[in-house]
Amino acid sequence: MVSLVRRYYLYRATLSPGFYLPVSVVYMEAQGLGLADIGFVQGAFSFAMVASELPTGYLGDLLGRRTALALGNSVVVAVMLGFTVADSTPAFTAVYVLWAVGWTFRTGTADAWLYELLADRDAEDEYARISGRADSTLRVVSAGTALAAGFLYTVDPTVPFLANAGLAALGLPLLFTLPRTQEVDADGDDAQMGIREAARVLRAQLSRPSIRWLVVYAALFNLAFSVTRVFEQPALRAVGVPITGLGLLYAGFKLVSAAASSAAGPLQDRIGTRGVLLLLVPAVGIAYASFAVVPLLLVPVLFFRRGIQRVTRPVRNEYVNDRLEDVGRATVLSGVSMALSLASGTANVLGGRVAAVVGPVAFLSGTGVAVALVAGLLWTVTRPVREPAADAAPS
């Protein structure tokens, strides 16, 4: 078991975006894209995720989790190479749409694979802890590669993307040292599930109050986190951070994220699932309001945003996993991711236009405060986090 978990951590490390992420928006701006164009491209990514989540989740159930994850890594290699030749909004849109397909091969499928692997060994209670530590591994590797990103960009703007292509390619042989899980057993129950049946299962699960309102609640914060990720580089430049400092800053972001991911399990043990998820409302509201008053507070808030997102994500995923049956698990998790992506895509497309008018700093602050207020109201009215026995309660 220990060796297996370590290999899983190594695989997760190959998913690091550290080489390209600190310079991705700067690179698009250098190719002539404005904030509205960047918002459109990022929105296209999210909408493409919505369109591909259910089919790729179904393929994850049909082909086997491991094969689906390998397809995802292969697409990422192609996408990183595509960045090196893209030079216009349509070209970047095409790259991001392809990227969305590769991304969705890994979203619900990766979570389902890990949960089932642990369940096979009667260790599903370890999901939040192992998922958090795997995320920490990813963040530490991302921090190291981010430190190199700025230097590589000065050598040649395409080099960070070539480096990330090589890193993603390393994940392919690692994947095939990991075992298959029950979804490919002789009975083949998941493999027999068609698209129509997958949609039926997804509708049935999302109709349950304990899942439906949690997804809506998570989608609100995903909206705020998504627009922050898209427009943080222009916002950082607006408050005085030079381009040469982005790599160092992003390395710090990854280290904070790594530490926060490791804290997910212990924090859940201390204050419970309900307490961890409720923490999002005051934390996001106060943090995003702060840099509306003092713009330089944007920098520590970006660190804080990564920390709280990494703490809450594995707790949220475990909550959903605990309420699903094994059959169709990847399909349902992909459906959840689909809802989060729809919220993000809409915010990115509309947000790009608003940010171009009011400025990225004011836009991000206003978005975060508004999301916290709406989420607080939703928590009061619908009780997003419920015990399984409460599924039948009025919604």
State the DSSP string of 346-391.
HHHHHHHHHHHHH-HHHHHHHHHHHHHHHHHHHHHHH-SS--GGGG
CATH assignment of the domain containing 73: 1.20.1250.20
Residue 71 within a domain: yes
Tokens of 50: 């919505």
The residue range of the domain holding 257 is 2-177+193-392
Task: Give the CA distances from residue 363 to residues 154, 206, 252, in Å, rounded to whole numbers and listed in that order.
Answer: 30, 31, 24
Residue 35 within a domain: yes
Residue 60 within a domain: yes
Residue 182 within a domain: no
Give the integer Cα–Cα distance in Å for 352 and 14: 31
Looking at residue 181, what DSSP letter applies? -
pLDDT score for 74: 92
Task: Report how many domains make up the chain.
Answer: 1
Category of 334 on φ-ψ map: left (φ > 0), alpha (ψ -120 to 50) or beta: alpha
Where is 59: in which H helix or E strand? helix 35-63
Tokens of 239: 């408050």
Residue 386 within a domain: yes
pLDDT score for 190: 45
Residue 354 within a domain: yes
Residue 185 within a domain: no
Contacts of 380 (CB under 8 A, 6+ apart): none
In this structure, the number of other CB atoms found within 10 A of the CB of residue 203 comes to: 10
Mean pLDDT, each 10-residue run in order, the chain (395 residues): 80 88 89 91 87 73 80 91 94 93 76 78 78 80 85 89 93 84 48 60 74 88 91 90 83 81 82 90 96 95 92 85 68 74 85 90 95 95 75 51
Residue 162 within a domain: yes
Q: Which residue has the tokens 């009975």?
A: 187
